[in-house]
Amino acid sequence: MQKTVKTAEGNSRALFIQTTQVLGNVLTFDHPADAVLSRHFRDNRELGQRDRAFIAETVYGIVRRLRWLRRLAGAGATPRQLLLAWLARGEGWPMRQFEGLASATERDWIETIKSATLDEGSVAERADMPDWLVERLLAQHDESSLIKLAQSLNRPAPLDLRVNLLKADRDVVLARLREEGLAAESCRLSPQGIRLGGKPALQKHPLFLDGSFEVQDEGSQLLGLLVQPKRGELVVDFCAGAGGKTLQLGAMMRSTGRLYAFDVSEKRLAKLKPRMARAGLSNVHPVLIAHENDAKVKRLAGKADRVLVDAPCSGLGTLRRNPDLKWRQSDAAVDEMVVKQGAILAAAARLVRPGGRLVYATCSLLAEENDAVVDAFLAAQPGFRAVSAESVLEAQGVTLTTGERLRLSPDAHDTDGFFAAVLERVASA
Ligand SMILES: C[S@@+](CC[C@H](N)C(=O)[O-])C[C@H]1O[C@@H](n2cnc3c(N)ncnc32)[C@H](O)[C@@H]1O
């Protein structure tokens, strides 16, 4: 495999070739883009931080604007042509920057790309989304708000941290990061969050290694607040994954009580274990389940004070971080997901004790995966009632006009897109 020669400009011929290779692999959409990138970086350990950033940002930039680039460069454009078109039009590289990187013929082609004009295009083309997705979103938004939302989803996300309140104080962490020259601000909404300017590498930061903070989008932090777990409670994180929210819930419980972290993915749960240790949590019990009706789940029927269902979903609210999802998801996959979401919510609800709380959340922007799932659940389960998400947040010092259900989007809140409904099992008489 071609190895990179790092240059001051970070745009050597070899780097260019590697970027084209990675892009070609990402554009098959067989695997998530972040997995393709991680693998490439693992196989090319000599790549410096700048080169990695160039490859990742370029590939993500192209995937975000793929529809536009294919209109400019031609539907059958090769990964290399897409790369050239992106650098010329998306990044605005002047012609001289292509010297030594592109052949004379390619440079002529780049000139035509630079001066090409496109007609306005369809809504889906302007949104840089597949037609099926725009059709679904147009049922919820008018054209101009959809374009605004799409543009916000087509921009990179900021980097947010959640301070582990079990180990650290937000102001102390903020002050330390600032002393180190990082641009750090308190998050606007989450009382546990810090927003950083730029994308500093933090995996080796002492405050990361000692569990004082974790990377977690501000919107995701608000979901933890909706669960609002207390010391000594029995809490279930039904779809815990690698534990982004489990860690937050465990810290809010001050490492007391019992916090069950269920998931069907052994690989994801395995990633939770070192994170629990770093976070100083001894109340978390990861449990691998075969499916939502596993006997291990049923044992807790009627016992949980709080249950979080952070449901598997299309993930379309996270397009800023995972832009390939819009090309990897499909209409049919969303329909299947909706059935699964209903089944998981119904199974999770059985665990909630009378008077206990159930939170259903997704990082989707589609009403089918959000309101429709909750509406169907409430219609089938008269033993549950809705609680206002806005009031739950307000009680914790978060001022956000969101109404009964939490709806976050990058254009309105500069967070990833999230949905959540807070439900309560009516206490028996
Ligand atoms: C949105 S992700 C969870 C993210 C996690 N809560 C976090 O904050 O990092 C959804 C998770 O649901 C899990 N999942 C899928 N089907 C499930 C099921 N039937 N029961 C429990 N978890 C399931 C997936 O493996 C995935 O980890």
Residue 10 has pLDDT above 50, yes or no: no
Q: Report DSSP state, residue 316.
A: G
Query: Relative to the CA of 291, which ligand 1 atom is closest?
Result: 19
Please report which confidence band the pLDDT of residue 154 belongs to, taking 50, 70 and 90 as the band edges.
very high
SS (HEC) of 115-178? HCCCCCCCHHHHHCCCHHHHHHHHCCCCHHHHHHHHHHHCCCCCEEEEECCCCCCHHHHHHHHH
Say if ligand 1 is within 6 A of residue 288 CB.
Answer: no
Answer for the pair 392, 225: CB distance below 8 angstroms, yes or no: yes
Ligand 1 atom 2: the closest Cα is on which residue? Answer: 312
For residue 186, the Cα-to-chain-centroid distance in whole angstroms is: 20
Tokens for 160, please give them. 């947010």
Binding site for S-adenosyl-L-methionine: which residues? Answer: 263, 310
Q: How far is the CA of 245 from the centre of ligand 1 (A)?
A: 11
For 363-399, what is each residue's pLDDT tens digit?
999 999 999 999 999 999 999 999 999 999 999 999 9
**Sheet bearing 159-163, strands edge to edge:** 184-186, 193-196, 159-163, 213-215
Give tens-digit pLDDT for 92-134: 999 999 999 999 999 999 999 999 999 999 999 999 999 999 9
- Residue 252's pLDDT is 98
| Structure confidence at residue 177 as a pLDDT band (50, 70, 90) | very high
* pLDDT class of 407 with cuts at 50, 70, 90: very high
Given this model, what pLDDT does residue 114 score? Answer: 97
Q: Decide whether any atom of ligand 1 lies within 6 Å of the 242 Cβ.
A: yes
**pLDDT > 70: percent of the chain:** 97
Of 3-7, 65-69, 131-135, 271-275, where does mean pLDDT reach its minimum? 3-7
Q: Give the annotated binding-site residues.
A: 263, 310
| Domain residue ranges of the chain, discontinuous segments joined by + | 13-118, 218-425
How far is ligand 1, taken at its centre, from the CA of residue 268, in Å? 9
> Within 10 A of 285 (CB to CB), how many other CB atoms are there?
12
Q: What is the ipTM of this complex?
A: 0.99
Taking the centre of ligand 1 as the mean of its atom positions, its distance from the CA of residue 251, in whole angstroms, is: 20
Closest atom of ligand 1 relative to the 265 alpha carbon: 25
Q: How many CB atoms neighbour CB 182 within 10 A?
A: 17
Q: Is the CB of 244 under 6 A from ligand 1?
A: yes
- Over residues 14-34, the mean pLDDT reads 96
Distance 324 CA to ligand 1 centre (A): 19
Q: What is the pTM of this model?
A: 0.95
> In sequence order, what are the residues at sequence separation of 6 or more whose Cβ sits closer than 8 angstroms to the Cβ of residue 179?
none
DSSP string, 177-200: HHHTT--EEE-SS-TTEEEESS--
Query: How many C-beta atoms surround the C-beta of residue 139 within 10 A?
Result: 9
Do 334 and 282 touch, CB atoms closer than 8 A?
no
Output the pLDDT for position 12: 84
How does pLDDT run across 329-356, given as a tens digit for each residue?
Answer: 999 999 999 999 999 999 999 999 999 9
CB 359 within 8 A of CB 307: yes
DSSP label at residue 32: -
Tokens of 381: 């389960």
Report whether residue 315 contacts ligand 1, using a CB cutoff of 6 Å. Answer: no
For residue 192, the Cα-to-chain-centroid distance in whole angstroms is 18
Report whether 302 contacts 327 (CB < 8 A). no
Reported as a pLDDT band with limits 50, 70 and 90, residue 242 is very high
CA 129, chain centre distance (Å)? 17
pLDDT score recorded for residue 213: 98
- Tell me the percentage of the chain whose pLDDT exceeds 90: 94
Q: Is the CB of 238 under 6 A from ligand 1?
A: yes
pLDDT at residue 429 greater than cutoff 50: no
Residue 263 CB–ligand 1 contact under 6 Å: yes
**Assign residue 270 a region: left if phi > 0, alpha if psi is -120 to 50, beta otherwise?**
alpha
Q: Which residues of 412-424 are buried (b: 16+ CB within 10 A; e: fewer)?
A: ebbbbbbbbbbbb
- Nearest-10 Cα torsion for 143, 146, 148, 150: -130
Architecture in CATH for domain 218-425: 3-Layer(aba) Sandwich (3.40)
Nearest protein Cα to ligand 1, atom 26: 241
Give tens-digit pLDDT for 277-326: 999 999 999 999 999 999 999 999 999 999 999 999 999 999 999 999 99
- The pLDDT of residue 63 is above 60: yes
- The average confidence (pLDDT) of the chain is 95
Atom of ligand 1 nearest to the CA of 313: 1
pLDDT band at 11 (very low <50, low <70, confident <90, very high): low
Ligand 1 atom closest to 245 (CA): 8
